């Protein structure tokens, strides 16, 4: 027998008997849409592809599908979470002025409702690039290095739940390079909007070019790496883990609800892990005298000494309040985008 465990929304596993020249379809409730390919080699011996190849990982259709679904999810995520992100940034950068969530919301609202979405345009652009990179790299890693446990003949064997965390860390380092310029512009814009200067994202970018030149968009590079590495490790790792747990222990849960709940909790776990690194990152990137490398760790030590360990979690409340709906919308948009792509844009 030769088994082909191909991706399928219907969770169908195709089995072909070469000797009888016929085929049958069986359902696999646990492996679902994952698994390596079993085949016969030229010597008629059964072999298995326990690892993928870069050719498998970078097929044009798969890459296009990843980018399309990530972009769609980014739009949902950005406009769902931007108001919470604005509150978080103000609490982190000006804790004396914005001492609590309610006070920050009240002062921001006094500037007009659109103030909550200040910086949304560069955020949406950066988020589309970030998620296209993040989901693209993460999915490519999964195709290049598939989980061997998912190809086991025992359907009860669980997947390797550590692997997504490791792949998430690699993904974070890659996405930091793409996200950095938009993050720097966004941080400066969100802080200035509360000073009465009324500078737009475009004005901020021009000032950055005038003061520091092209290097200004790369300021705080190590800060971005320190934040995104832990974040994506828990972001993708916990999403895969929660999807698996919901599927096993709550089998009646609809797929859409499973994606939504898993994505929301994954976002909360990711930000809880990354928050101590995010506070000094925001402070560094919102200033105008930041170096490309070398400003992050002094700022981290300074905040630890002045505010204590809890100071590194300043703004965690609005961050978690934003994380659930924003990332639930993100993952739901990504998964729905994949379905739409498969059914209407580029059928296999």
Residue 99: per-residue pLDDT = 76
**Residue 311 domain flag:** yes
Six token digits for residue 236: 């993708």
Residue 152: per-residue pLDDT = 57
Q: What angle do CA 249, 342, 54 make, to 5 degrees?
A: 85
**Residue 7 domain flag:** no
Question: Whose structure tokens read 């089998």?
Answer: 251
Q: Please give the tally of structural domains in the chain.
A: 1
| DSSP-derived 3-state class of residue 4 | strand
DSSP 113: G
Residue 167: per-residue pLDDT = 95
Six token digits for residue 235: 């972001």
**Residue 124 domain flag:** yes
Burial of 204 (0-12, 13-18, 19+ CB in 10 A): buried
**Residue 14 domain flag:** no
Residue spans of alpha helices (H) in the chain: 54-57, 60-93, 101-109, 120-144, 163-192, 201-212, 221-249, 255-286, 296-307, 316-340
* Cα–Cα distance measured from residue 238 to residue 121, given in angstroms and rounded to the nearest whole number: 29
**Residue 47 domain flag:** no
**Residue 43 domain flag:** no
* CATH number, residue 276: 1.50.40.10
**Residue 36 domain flag:** no
Q: What is the full DSSP assignment across 22-89?
A: EEEEEE-TTTTT---BEEE-TTS-EEE--S--HHHHT-HHHHHHHHHHHHHHHHHHHHHHHHHHHHHH
State the 10-residue block means of pLDDT for the chain, 348 residues long: 42 41 40 39 40 74 94 87 82 79 87 82 78 92 86 69 93 85 84 66 86 85 90 96 94 95 97 89 84 85 86 82 91 94 89
Residue 312: per-residue pLDDT = 85
Radius of gyration of the chain (CA): 23
**Residue 30 domain flag:** no
Confirm if 189 and 119 have CB atoms less than 8 A apart: yes
80: containing domain? 62-345
| DSSP-derived 3-state class of residue 14 | strand
């Amino acid at each position: 027998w030769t088994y082909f465990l191909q991706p399928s929304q219907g969770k169908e596993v195709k089995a072909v008997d070469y000797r009888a020249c016929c085929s049958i379809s069986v359902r696999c409730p646990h492996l679902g849409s994952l698994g390596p390919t079993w085949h016969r080699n030229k010597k008629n011996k059964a072999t298995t592809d326990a690892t993928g190849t870069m050719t498998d990982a970078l097929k044009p259709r798969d890459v296009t599908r990843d980018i399309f679904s990530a972009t769609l999810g980014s739009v949902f995520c950005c406009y769902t979470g931007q108001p919470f992100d604005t509150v978080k940034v103000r609490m982190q950068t000006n804790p004396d002025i914005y001492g609590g969530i309610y006070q920050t919301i009240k002062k921001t609202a006094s500037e007009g409702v659109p103030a909550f979405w200040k910086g949304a345009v560069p955020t949406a652009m950066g988020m589309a690039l970030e998620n296209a990179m993040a989901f693209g790299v993460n999915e490519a890693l999964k195709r290049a290095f598939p989980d061997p446990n998912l190809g086991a003949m025992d359907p009860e064997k669980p997947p390797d739940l550590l692997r997504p965390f490791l792949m998430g860390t690699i993904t974070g380092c890659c996405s930091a390079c793409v996200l950095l310029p938009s993050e720097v512009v966004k941080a400066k814009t969100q802080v200035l909007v509360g000073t009465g200067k009324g500078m737009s994202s475009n004005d901020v970018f021009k000032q950055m070019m005038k003061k520091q030149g092209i290097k200004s968009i790369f300021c705080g590079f190590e800060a971005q790496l320190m934040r995104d590495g832990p974040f994506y490790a828990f972001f993708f790792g916990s999403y895969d883990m929660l999807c698996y747990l919901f599927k096993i222990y709550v089998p009646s849960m609809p797929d859409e609800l499973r994606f939504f709940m898993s994505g929301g909790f994954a976002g909360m776990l990711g930000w809880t892990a990354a928050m101590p690194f995010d506070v000094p990152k925001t402070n560094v990137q919102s200033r105008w005298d930041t170096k490309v490398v070398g400003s992050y760790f002094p700022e981290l030590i300074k905040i630890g000494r002045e505010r204590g360990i809890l100071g590194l979690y300043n703004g965690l409340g609005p961050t978690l309040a934003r994380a659930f709906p924003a990332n639930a919308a993100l993952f739901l948009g990504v998964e729905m985008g994949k379905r739409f792509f498969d059914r209407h844009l580029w059928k296999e």
